[in-house]
Amino acid sequence: MSFLTLENVSHLYFSKQNYTKALSNISFSVKEGEFISILGPSGCGKTTILSVIAGIIQQTKGKVHLKGKPLDQSTMAIGYMLQQDYLFPWKTIIDNVLLGPKITKQNDEELKQKAIDLLETVGLEDVALKYPDSLSGGMRQRVALVRTLITNPEILLLDEPFSALDYMTKLTLEDLVFALLRDYQKTAILVTHDIAEAISMSDRLIIMDTNPGTIAQIIEIPIELRNERPFLVRRHPKYQKIFDKVWHELNKYEQNFDQKGSV
């Protein structure tokens, strides 16, 4: 049985003048522990898919099932990481991390210790009582990761979480997130426009076309690449071939996008 299934999901955004079809008949499924990346030109509805799965927006049509249950009946914790860290500047790091438990009203000492342990796991020590403004971008994104993991989510939704970071930090964090997700056996969906990042982190790639957002192609990553650290995947002999293939596909839809855009 699939962990997460989307069945003919469509979504419309309405405005006074018109409507935009952001998603059209999106169907795919994700197995437990799998890492999926969604790649596509801007405006293809990548973020909308994540928002639907997170339950932040309600899809216009179609069904989403989590572990066999319709989404609105599922009580499963979902972790959502955004492009920027969105740490609350008026809260200390530890209070930021414990935000999820606070919302679900389960604050206790045990969780606090777990938060401190998790912060250490991502290489952050003695930051608990500091405020976000004294941390660097990479450190802040790590705190955001811990904030997402503390609620013990069974699925992680990553919305371009590395795109605002400098290249060095990005590579380090990719390795860290990859290792953590493997260790904790988490299922994850990554939305990105970075081909290298998608290939090096995922098991499967979903390539999307735009206007309306549809799935154009699903590409399996070879097993040899799946288990390597993202940093090493980029040097793997098979990497370049996959990269070229994805590049070619994306280029096709990018041009498509330009043409449609001009209509």
Partner 1 sequence: MSTHSDQQLLTNYRANLKKEKRIVVYWQLLILISFFVIWEVTSHYYLIDPLIFSSPSRIIQLLIERFVDGSIFMHVQITLFETILGFVIGTLLGVVFASILWTSIRIAKVLDPYLVILNAMPKVALGPIIIVALGPGYVSIITMGAIISVIITTIVVYSAFNEVDPNFSKVLRSFGATRWQCFKEAIFPATLPTIISTLKVNVGLSWVGVIVGEFLVSKQGLGYLIIYGFQVFDFTLVMSSLLLIAIIAAIMYKLVEKMEKWLIKHTV
Task: Please give the residue ranges that form the binding site for partner 1 (CB under 8 A).
Answer: 54, 56, 78-80, 82, 84, 86, 88-90, 99-100, 102-104, 131-133, 151, 157
Residue 189 CB, shortest distance to partner 1, in Å, is: 13
Which residues make Cβ contacts (< 8 Å) with residue 113, sequence separation at least 6? none
Residue 104 CB, shortest distance to partner 1, in Å, is: 6
Residue 19 CB, shortest distance to partner 1, in Å, is: 20
Cβ distance to partner 1 smaller for residue 75 or 262: 75
Residue 91 CB, shortest distance to partner 1, in Å, is: 8
Cβ distance to partner 1 smaller for residue 8 or 134: 134
3-state secondary structure of 132: helix
Cβ distance to partner 1 smaller for residue 45 or 79: 79
Cβ distance to partner 1 smaller for residue 25 or 74: 74
Residue 29 DSSP label: E
Where would I find the H helices in the chain? 46-54, 93-97, 99-103, 109-121, 137-149, 167-183, 195-201, 223-226, 230-233, 239-262
Cβ distance to partner 1 smaller for residue 102 or 260: 102
CA 209 from centre of chain:
18
Residue 213 CB, shortest distance to partner 1, in Å, is: 20
Strand order through the sheet with 214-220: 78-81, 155-159, 187-192, 35-39, 204-209, 214-220
Residue closest to 26 by CA, chosen among 17, 38, 18? 38
